[in-house]
Structure 1
């Protein structure tokens, strides 16, 4: 676990998590049952168990008191004892799952996990600018992870295009719907943290500071 300006996060291997469906609440179990592919079911189960365990350990409550739900934009949030509510962020990629939330309970937090692998630049043209794609494979993955973390932080799903956030060396340009939402939410400063873990990269995005 790390504490970055009240940002709490944890990433674990799925193989290190006890995947017990009985640890889910009834509504979580309904979501789990809605998935047809075994890999997707395991990712969902692992991310919920990790989140519930991490939250219960962090705020000193019972595991069974924590329930993970989604709002209308599919942004996950935690209900504790059926009344304490705060937003979280979840990510999964191959063998890892991750969770992040803010110690101050503010909603603007995003986490993304990416595997270091060669990306198809032609596919990425819908999501990245030509200048962003004119980078090394490692830097492209770093940019991609930060974009994903930002989109999770802003929490409006596919209504915001990844091209509305552009990374150019140390400069970050917000435009279109991303810029409008930052103004609407009165978000003036955005922080990014990027951490290497084995052959993976973890990106965090949060406001404040």
Structure 2
């Protein structure tokens, strides 16, 4: 199992990134799935989505605890059954990641860097956020914003949030070590600080609260 990177983020938080190189059959033979997980796994149509699903669960069972299972609440937010550990999950082309904490609440998003983000920038960024995007490093900067907003959604915990009006990323340059953003809703208002890791053609953004 090719663990690509393990980061000890804080005293109670660990981040694991795995490069998915195995086939579905191999992964399935090395992970234990509950009946509910197996039913969900069988519902995926694509091989890549099946691999991602198995990879995140194998990461948990191999590096956190063999008897832990991931389920999702009614809003789709993942949690570890019968455990006080908190988890955030992300996957993208050929990679999967889990971010697990005992006391803090984690959020993570990982994306493959492609030109696609330039075509959809106006769907998730406000005019003021677009004005702050770097001309020299546009694609990377856009993905920093995209990943951070995905983290904000995970912190909020529900999907009925407006990407432009209710998720705000404060101005920053793409080479900053950290940057900030906030969820702005009547029922939820909170600010967060983000850090990021770049490797190969991928970006991973994470935050703790």
Q: Sort the TM-score into its range (normalised by shorter chain).
A: 0.7 to 0.9
Which residue in 2 is equivalent to 1:115?
112
Which residue in 1 is equivalent to 2:3?
none
| TM-superposed deviation, 1:197 | 1.7
The answer to whether the Cα contact below 8 Å between 2:148 and 2:205 also exists between their aligned partners in 1 is yes
Which residue in 2 is equivalent to 1:131?
128
Distance 1:155 1:73 in 2: 7
The answer to whether the Cα contact below 8 Å between 1:76 and 1:88 also exists between their aligned partners in 2 is yes
Of residues 19, 32, 51 in structure 1, which corresponds to 2:27? 19
In 2 relative to 1, CA 37–175 (structure 1 residues): closer, same or farther, beyond 3 Å?
Answer: closer
Which residue in 2 is equivalent to 1:86?
85
Which residue in 2 is equivalent to 1:168?
170
Of residues 38, 46, 68 in structure 2, which corresponds to 1:29? 38
Q: Which runs of 5+ in 1 are unaligned?
A: 57-62
Please give the per-residue CA displacement for 1:42-97, whole angstroms capped at 9, x wherever unaligned: 211112212222222xxxxxx1x111111111111112xxx324331111110100
Task: State the SS of the aligned residue for 1:2.
Answer: strand
1:48 paired with 2:57, answer yes
Distance 2:47 2:22 in 1: 17
Aligned-CA RMSD value: 2.3
Task: State the SS of the aligned residue for 2:144.
Answer: helix
| TM-superposed deviation, 1:159 | 1.1
Distance 1:153 1:175 in 2: 9
The answer to whether the Cα contact below 8 Å between 2:180 and 2:192 also exists between their aligned partners in 1 is no
Q: Which runs of 5+ in 2 are unaligned?
A: 1-5, 173-178
Range with greater deviation from structure 2 (36-45 or 70-79) = 36-45
Distance 2:83 2:146 in 1: 33
The answer to whether the Cα contact below 8 Å between 1:150 and 1:205 also exists between their aligned partners in 2 is no
Normalising by structure 1, we get a TM-score of: 0.79
Which residue in 2 is equivalent to 1:95?
94
Distance 2:73 2:90 in 1: 16
Distance 1:195 1:66 in 2: 27
Distance 1:199 1:122 in 2: 18
The answer to whether the Cα contact below 8 Å between 1:47 and 1:99 also exists between their aligned partners in 2 is yes
Which residue in 1 is equivalent to 2:149?
147
In 2 relative to 1, CA 11–175 (structure 1 residues): closer, same or farther, beyond 3 Å?
Answer: closer
| TM-superposed deviation, 1:113 | 0.5
The answer to whether the Cα contact below 8 Å between 1:132 and 1:140 also exists between their aligned partners in 2 is no
Greater share of residues in helix: 1
In 2 relative to 1, CA 146–28 (structure 1 residues): closer, same or farther, beyond 3 Å?
Answer: same
